[in-house]
Chain A
Amino acid sequence: MGRITFIEHSGTEHVVDIEVGQSLMQAAVENGIPGIDADCGGACACGTCHVIVDKDWVQATGGINADEQGMLGLTPEITDTSRLSCQVTLSESLDGLIVRLPEFQM
């Protein structure tokens, strides 16, 4: 079983097990990671599950569609490797994934 690491803006790390097929957002919410609001429940419609993917993992997490890009564009905290975690599906190939949380959710 693989594991992923969330790093809060303060630097606190949380390691959680991968449940294949879940979204990264669900993994965060179910494991009580602070700083992921996920107001819309995973509909790519609120921008409050923003994470910053470690640059070594950008390719592995897949492409961004126009809807996600549109929502990320509303976040003042956007970076080059920003994703909405509800749009990243977990698989064994993401074992070792590292994502950082922004200081604020939109």
Chain B
Amino acid sequence: MNLLKPLLEPVIQPALDKATSVIPLHWQIRGAHAFQSLKQRAGKARPIPVFSEVPLPDVSTLALQDIDVSNPFLYRQGLWHSYFKRLRDECPVHFQKSSPFGPFWSVTRYEDIMFVDTHHDLFSAEPIITIGPQPEGLELETFIAMDPPKHDAQRQAVQGVVAPKNLAQMENLIRSRTADVLDRLPVNEPFDWVQNVSIDLTSRMLATLFDFPFEQRHKLAYWSDVAASPPEATGGSSNTAEAFDVAADIASNMSSLWRDKEARIAAGEEPGFDLISLLLANATTRTMINRPMEFMGNMALLIVGGNDTTRNSMTGGLWALNQFPDEFAKLKQNPGLIPNMVSEIIRWQTPLAYMRRVAKEDVTLNGQTINKGDKVVMWYASGNRDERAFEQDPDQFIIDRKNVRKHLSFGFGVHRCMGNRLAEMQLRILWEELLKRFDDIEVLDEPEYVQSNFVRGYTRMSVKLTAIT
């Protein structure tokens, strides 16, 4: 995909290739946005759904075919649980024929999700893994949404940055940054946990992974939020203009970071273990910056992948412990349970609700025939609460739950989360450092939730700390 193609259609291909390599990427994105706006005005663009919140009905009042779990307010309104339980029990592979995102299948039981996730020969991750499409004109190419073998080559180029060997070297740095954030928190007075802990810690981590200017790290969190929330993709609350602005911003910041790193390495500087250095060191990805959609796609994927997920698990874990105070007491008595609790937090929160696939051929799944070309959504959030798969009541938060590592939140198969070990380490360190400092961490009100069918997240959670005396 070439951003300038629609603008320069009459121009021959070699000239086009030259143009994309000399015109700065953020200008190309501005150009694509201008073109998209023209299309919109001419009535030629794909319509964008508009979502406004109304109270959703009790699922028991709905006919099966009317259940639409793509509604972006289901999580916020606390109804996702009853909706998915009904599907798991009565129609585990469910077809919704007329959602705002078009028709799609929902796969809601653990075993069926595992089947879809491990059969990339039957179910393609292309062109994107959200229920709806990416904003028109901004279709980024990212390996989370590529099938093997292209997926494998691109992923292998970057996975080293979050390899356990690298992480072991980063543990002390992560711990000192976590300590720094926690030591600045107010004690005995309310503050917002999301902003002051979850967002701050994950932005610091991302800035480190990218070797991004530390004082500008707030940009990474903002970009991630916008990139994950186009209404047509996830039912989120960003808009097209914002999406293009952010894409242009990512393009100019990340390409200058890339060029700068490239020049420093060329001048003899030792390459670091940050993501861009690794991409520059790999034959497959060294010239990625000349392929704008692929470059942007990888940057956006790594920014979003390392952000929303860990951030909302940092908030969700505390929210869970407040709803299950006996577990909090158990944790304080036995901090050795932290590693197992981290997996339980990731299961309980399931920060990304699903991944979407497209059937590559007709497939029969749990009695239903999915036709070639149909969209298939694997609802990890539902599979993680499947009573058939978890012996101990899956709706309970149990920090010493047996076999909790089988949770679906990281996905299974070739697309399994690349940053899983980093996420686990960040959460483990957070809880180790919290227990050293605070006797109680009280959530004062129910948190506020993100509008999305994809990100299961929090925008605000008021908390009060009591120090250890």
Residue ranges of A at the interface with B (Cβ–Cβ < 8 Å)? 37, 39-41, 43-47, 67, 70-71, 73-74, 76-77, 103-106
Contacts and interface: CB of A to CB of B under 8 A. Distances in A.
Contacts of B156: 73-74
15 contacts: A40-B406, A40-B412, A45-B118, A45-B412, A45-B416, A70-B148, A73-B156, A74-B155, A74-B416, A74-B418, A76-B159, A76-B160, A76-B164, A77-B163, A103-B165
A76 B152 CA distance: 12
A47 B416 contact: yes
Given A43-B412, A46-B412, A76 B406 contact: no
Interface string B213-239: 000000000000000000000000000
B412 A104 contact: no
B117 A45 contact: yes
Contacts of B416: 45-47, 74
Interface string B148-192: 100010011001100111001000000000000000000000000
A68 to B, nearest CB: 11
Given A43-B114, A46-B416, A74-B155, A37 B164 contact: no
Contact of B164 (A41, A44, A74, A106): A106
B164 A104 contact: yes
Nearest to B167: A104
A44 B165 CA distance: 23
A33 to B, nearest CB: 16
A33 B155 CA distance: 30
Contacts of A76: 159-160, 163-165
A39 B148 contact: no
Nearest to A44: B118
Contacts of A104: 163-165, 168, 421
Nearest to A40: B412
A39 B421 CA distance: 13
Contacts of B164: 76-77, 103-106
Nearest to B159: A76
B405 A43 contact: no
Nearest to A37: B405
B414 interface: yes
B272 interface: no
Contact of A43 (B118, B148, B159): B118
A80 B13 CA distance: 43
B413 interface: yes
Contacts of A41: 403, 406
A39 B346 CA distance: 14
Contact of A106 (B114, B405, B406, B421): B421
B152 A73 contact: yes
Contacts of B168: 104
A105 B403 CA distance: 17
A22 to B, nearest CB: 18
A5 B106 CA distance: 45
The 7 lowest CB-CB distance pairs between A and B, nearest first, are A104-B164, A45-B412, A76-B163, A39-B405, A45-B118, A45-B413, A70-B414
Given A104-B163, A104-B168, 7 more contacts: A40-B114, A40-B406, A43-B412, A45-B117, A76-B163, A104-B164, A106-B421
Nearest to B415: A74
A44 B119 CA distance: 11
A74 B118 contact: no
A43 B389 CA distance: 14
B364 to A, nearest CB: 20
Contacts of A44: 118
Nearest to B407: A39
Most buried by A among B148, B168, B405, B413: B413
B360 to A, nearest CB: 16
Nearest to B403: A41
A44 B155 CA distance: 18
B344 to A, nearest CB: 14
Contacts of A77: 163-165
A77 B168 CA distance: 14
Contacts of B148: 70
B110 to A, nearest CB: 11
A39 B163 contact: no
A64 to B, nearest CB: 15
A83 B117 CA distance: 21
A45 B159 CA distance: 17
Nearest to A41: B406
A45 B165 CA distance: 21
B414 A71 contact: yes
A78 to B, nearest CB: 10
B177 to A, nearest CB: 22
Interface in B378-434: 403, 405-406, 412-414, 416, 418, 421
A103 to B, nearest CB: 7
Nearest to B118: A45
Interface string B132-162: 0000000000000000100010011001100
Contacts of A46: 412, 416
Contacts of A105: 164
